[in-house]
Structure 1
Amino acid sequence: MRRIRTVLLPPALAIVFAALLCAVALLISGDSPLTALRVMITQVGEGTTAVDIVNSGAVYYIAALAVAIGFQMKLFNIGIEGQYRLAACVAAIVGGALVLPPVVHTLVIIVVAAVVGAAWAGIAALLKAYRGVSEVISTIMLNFIATGLIAFLIKPDSFGVLQGNNISTAPIEPSGQFPGISFGSGGTLFGMVGVAALLGLGYWFLLNRTRFGFELKASGESPTAATAGGVDARRMVIIALVLSGAVAGLVGLPELLGRDFAYTLTSPQGYGFTGIAVALLGRNHPLGIALGALLWAFLDKSALALDNVGVPREIVLIMQGSVVLSVVIAYEIVRRYELAAEQRRVAAQLRDTAAAEKAAEKVAS
């Protein structure tokens, strides 16, 4: 029961606090919180909103898993943004240039994306392991380099194709696309949603059922103690960041293989930074991350619905930001409460033990 309370209570408190904060903001602006809440809930059953939430949630989930892998080693891979964008661009170039059998074609694109993401993160990993360069600084710089490299790769005289006023990579043939599940007028669920779920299971198994997962968490908790126990801390840093980059390389694939089939200069951005917020919200637990990803996607879709009824869509940004800040504070409050409760339980047990010893001495005398 204490474990459930520790895991579930902080995000619940954060969401309640964020809702109250948004309600106050709406009242100040002259809008009704109840109207906003009704619109946010009812929009889920309209059109393709429900499927869109799951599709967006899958993208956020993969990004958050990539962040969480680094967090387990106390590494802040802030370069998810550059890793997934460069990986999606290169995977689109390779996918558009090849003609392979259906399943093989898709698998090649996925592997290319993972390898590019891992290689790009590997630069920061080597700098961290052998030169002590902060992964925060190096990954931020690599984000900017990735942006320039993408612009170079999709130029018309490189691998780009001019389509109207937009530049994109060559379209991926149907054999390389990842078929989804159609719900008719309700939209099409990306096939990569299933891959995202498998990644979550793999992440849980890796951390909780393998020696590598134990060494990863041990190195994050205390590199000195882990080294004394025979764990190569430098190797763990490299593996953690490379693995994080490999997962990050898959972030852009749900939309690339399920909807766009090409990478353009206007392809969606910002998923890497959203992944950081979702990982914090889910406390690096695969189930918590899944719930956080769906909540974030739900709030994203609510912005347009609120705008349609005259409620400022910025209220969603307020709620997203306050949820992240609140959940960090809430976890610390709950942690301190549990620590104080544990200290009281230990003190009570010591008193009971002392009383029992005194009673035994009296009986013996």
Structure 2
Amino acid sequence: MTVANEARDRAAGSAADPIRVMVVDDSVVIRGLLGRWVDGDPDLSLVASHRNGKVALDDIERSNPDVVILDIEMPEMDGLTALPLMLRKKRDLVVLMASTLTRRNAEISLRALSLGAQDYIPKPESKSEVTTSVDFRREIIEKVKTLGARARGGQRPGRQIRAQAVGERVVPLHSVTPPAHARPTGFRASVKPAMPRPAVRPYPSVRPRVVVIGSSTGGPQALQQVMRDIGTAIRQVPVVVTQHMPPTFTAILAEHLGKAAMRPAKEAGDGDVLQPGHIYVAPGGRHLVLEKNHGQAVARLTDDAPVNFCKPAVDPLFDSAAKVFGSSVLAVVLTGMGHDGADGVKTIAAGGGAVIAQDEASSVVWGMPGAAAQTGQCNDILPLQEIGPKIAKILGGGVR
């Protein structure tokens, strides 16, 4: 057998292997429901179901899951306590936090991201809503399958690439890099051949008057690094962010971004006049678009239908920014699943604005930035750690 045939057979065998899923929740109803959904998908396999973090932790090595859906509030050992202990036992484990939409749980979920969780899944408020919610089921299955690809070496759609890692200390919420026990050092390289680097355009000569950013999975951590790295440069322009997040979460995200940038930050309100040096975050459940009113750029919130299955969505923000600011837009597409933002990138480029996409190696998921890059309309495709400094340089007039 040739080396090429062996590689092909190994890839086929791995692709045929279902992603192994563990469900950890103190509700027997939720455990049963999620278990049925997982086992009902041919790409997934339920390998364990547990009532609390302690039992799950004791079973990690035996069950060997690729993905754990981890509830936050449980007796004996809660999800936040169990998370770092699980990651110490299995470094390449993908953990999705599950919680209802309370402020406390939103804070805990964002904290869990800094401790190594890959994403969060907001639960509907009641068990009856959990049972009947099509969106909840779709989101769980989509995230498990996409993020589960990390443990399978990137051989499924939406593949994951190794994230950056730093020293041994446990890092705070505003840091993008997970602690050492959460480093994905066990991830295998993809057998796919490297794709050609997408074409990029020259930067426009116009200095930006607004920065608009779109992100999803992995976005909260990436956004905080970008805001921290931009530094004082954003005193010159408003920054408008659409992160795929539910209500409550977006208000807390705005607070964290403000702390990271040391600038005023808030959930955008309908009619807010955009102020230089201020950060505006699209509220969960509403689209954020920009309009011109009496010569001033203002935020508008709409209750239009989801775009790309998302609400808020990035495309409406990007499209409206191009209409209001024309060639003076600087758009950034960070890590995230799907292709939201790609159409908006085309609109911004057509209007003469600039676009930066995060590169594949530093993205948790190279869906959104990958789709943006593949339009051929980006001006740069950069590692996360270079995006903030590049924005600062552009705002300072240093890129022409």
Short-chain TM bin? under 0.3
Q: Greater relative contact order (Cα 8 A, min sep 6): structure 1 or 2?
A: 1
Greater helix fraction, Structure 1 or Structure 2: 1
Provide the TM-score with structure 2 as the length reference.
0.21
Greater share of residues in strand: 2
Larger Rg: 1
Taking structure 1 as the reference length, the TM-score comes to 0.22
